[in-house]
Amino acid sequence: MSDPIADEAIASSPLPTPKTLARRRNVFFQLVRFAVINLKMVRVVARGHG
């Protein structure tokens, strides 16, 4: 049972560019993003406990 409206939305959604795909597959880039997100979370928690 598929929803025709949802199927159309999925079919017309934009595909990632080759540059975007390369970044998603790059382990170094992912590690940097992981570190940045974790530092942001640490900052939020530290502010809450200050």
- The predicted-structure confidence for 4-40, as pLDDT tens digits, reads as follows 999 999 999 999 999 999 999 999 999 999 999 999 9
Q: Pseudo-torsion of CA 20, 24, 29, 32, nearest 10°? A: 110
Model-level pTM?
Answer: 0.61
What is the DSSP annotation of the chain? ---HHHHHHHHTSPPPPHHHHHHHH-HHHHHHHHHHHHHHHHHHHHHHT-
Q: What is the Cα 33 distance to its own chain's centre?
A: 9
Q: For residue 27, what are its two tokens? A: 């382990």
Q: Pseudo-torsion of CA 35, 41, 42, 47, nearest 10°? A: 150
